[in-house]
Amino acid sequence: VVVQSRTNEKFDLECTLPSSSPDWFNLRIDELGEVSAQVKRSICSFPPVAKCMSIDFMLYTCDGEILPMETWAFSVDEEEQRTVWADDVKSQLYLQLSVMLRSAMVAARMTPLHRLASILALLDLSF
């Protein structure tokens, strides 16, 4: 999964109801063409049948470099997957996944700032 972030675009995201709309997790952000192409190459069918998933955080620098920042790996316990889920459990899962995705977006934005602040603190400089 590729998360697009830090493109200097301001997004006004509104919660849409009902949840049966194609606006999953109340996030509707148009992706960069290259991000969309990578997702289409990586996921042949949806939902993917996989035991684990990773989220890669990449930083595109001003001079055209691509710096890998972090990788988060998630896995599914097959024993838990066999459990029949009630509606309230499904809504809890939906809530937890939306929190995870929003956390990933925040982490993608904050990691470069934290590293810069750490370097400046070591050099005894400030913003």
Task: Tell me, yes or no, whether 40 lies in a domain.
Answer: yes
DSSP 8-class letter at 107? H
CA dist 13 and 28 (Å) reads: 7
CA dist 93 and 87 (Å) reads: 10
Task: Tell me, yes or no, whether 52 lies in a domain.
Answer: yes
Task: Tell me, yes or no, whether 1 lies in a domain.
Answer: no
Q: What is the pLDDT of residue 66?
A: 80
Q: What is the pTM of this model?
A: 0.38
CA dist 18 and 87 (Å) reads: 15
Q: What is the pLDDT of residue 56?
A: 78
Flag whether pLDDT at 58 surpasses 70. Answer: yes
- 20 versus 66: the higher-pLDDT residue is 66
Task: Tell me, yes or no, whether 7 lies in a domain.
Answer: no
Domain coverage including residue 68: 24-122
Question: How many distinct structural domains can be found in the chain?
Answer: 1
Q: Taking the CB of residue 57, how many other CB atoms lie within 10 A of it? A: 19
Task: Name the residue type at position 41.
Answer: R
Q: What is the pLDDT of residue 3?
A: 47
Q: What is the pLDDT of residue 1?
A: 39
pLDDT tens column, 73-122: 877 676 665 556 566 666 777 777 777 777 777 777 777 777 777 788 88
SS3 category, 42:
helix
Task: Tell me, yes or no, whether 2 lies in a domain.
Answer: no
Q: Are 34 and 2 in contact (CB under 8 A)?
A: no
Task: Tell me, yes or no, whether 12 lies in a domain.
Answer: no
92-102: burial string, b at 16+ Cβ within 10 Å, e else:
eeeeeeeeebe
Task: Tell me, yes or no, whether 61 lies in a domain.
Answer: yes
pLDDT tens column, 13-54: 555 555 555 555 555 555 566 666 776 776 666 555 667 777
Q: What is the pLDDT of residue 9?
A: 54
Flag whether pLDDT at 2 surpasses 50. Answer: no
> Once rounded to an integer, what is the mean pLDDT over residues 57-82?
73
CA dist 57 and 2 (Å) reads: 7
Task: Tell me, yes or no, whether 50 lies in a domain.
Answer: yes
